[in-house]
Amino acid sequence: MDLALIRKSMVDDQLRNRGIKDRRVLEAFLKVERHKFVPEDLLDNAYADFPLPIGEKQTISQPYIVALMTEKLELKGTERVLEIGTGSGYQAAILAELVKQVYTIERFDALAKQAQATLLAMGYQNIKITVGDGTLGWPEEAPFERIIITAATPRVPQPLFEQLAEGGKMILPLGDFAGQVLTLVEKKNGQPHTQDICGCVFVPLVGKFGQ
């Protein structure tokens, strides 16, 4: 199985063909070995066009959704980014290719440990992982120029909006089990400006300021 070739097909068929254009984002998806983030028994589906289970009833998101969320953040390379929902660590690895520093929070200890091991083995030096309720954010490291929430919540968790830098962008699935919309939130003069992107399906953001 030529995984580099399969990865290239994923980038061409699932990302480029659906409108992902940011050259740096496409390069990151070509580089990061997604198969290292999925359970061994699902290796054959590592580059498939759907989410996969990663344990604890959680998922690694569909490649296109990871790419879309990443592209909408319009990353230049200098940013400090906060991710809520480390999961497998795949989104964190993609971000680490594109920004200065990634901070990521996961509520399940087992998932955080596994992601940490995977990311260390791959040599990432610019990702910090912690275990806890991500809806509280990471106040010691705030403010963040970008925040990405990879689990669904009916409203923007207030601590996270507070920890978003002025002029910063946050992307998240807003909604619950009945329906969710991928939403981009920009902070301008301290106020949220929101833009709906598309419908989506994510596991719930479970925490004090989530579901």
Contacts with ligand SAM in 133-172 (CB under 6 A)?
133-135, 150-151
The residues, ordered by sequence, that sit 6+ positions from 202 with a Cβ below 8 Å of its Cβ are: 61, 150, 151, 152, 173, 180
Q: Does 180 bind ligand SAM (CB under 6 A)?
A: no
Binder among 29, 47, 90, 138 for ligand SAM (CB under 6 A):
90
CA distance 175 to 140: 28
- CA atoms within a 13 Å half-sphere pointing along the CA-CB vector of 178: 2
Q: How far is CA 97 from CA 26, 31, 72, 160, in A?
A: 11, 9, 16, 23
CB of 135 to ligand SAM, least distance (A): 5
| Selected binder of ligand SAM within 25, 98, 99, 111 (CB under 6 A) | 111
How many chain residues touch ligand SAM (CB under 6 A)? 26
Nearer to ligand SAM, 42 or 167 (CB): 42
Piece of 15-23, 73-81, 100-108, 117-125 that binds ligand SAM (CB under 6 A) = 100-108
Q: Which of 79, 97, 106, 145 binds ligand SAM (CB under 6 A)?
A: 106
Nearer to ligand SAM, 45 or 166 (CB): 45
- By CB under 6 A, is residue 207 in contact with ligand SAM? yes
All residues at 6 or more sequence positions from 200 whose CB lies less than 8 Å from its CB, including other chains: 65, 152, 173, 180, 181, 182
Q: Which of 70, 144, 151, 72 is nearest to 102 (CA)?
A: 144
| Residue (131 or 165) nearer to ligand SAM, CB | 131
Q: Where are the alpha helices (DSSP H) in the chain?
A: 3-9, 23-31, 63-72, 90-96, 109-121, 158-163
Interacting residues with ligand SAM between 55 and 84 (CB under 6 A)? 58-61, 84
Using CB under 6 A, pick the residue from 64, 108, 144, 161 that binds ligand SAM. 108
CB of 188 to ligand SAM, least distance (A): 26
Verify binding: residue 116, ligand SAM, rule CB under 6 A: no
As annotated, the active-site residues are 61
The residues that bridge with 178 in the sheet, in sequence order, are none
CA distances from 122 to 33, 71, 127, 142, 179 (A): 9, 23, 11, 26, 36
Q: How far apart (Å, rounded) are the C-alpha atoms in residues 97 and 118?
A: 15
Residues of the shown chain interacting with ligand SAM in the complex, contacts defined by CB under 6 A: 58-61, 84-85, 87-88, 90-91, 105-108, 111, 133-135, 150-151, 202-203, 205-207, 210
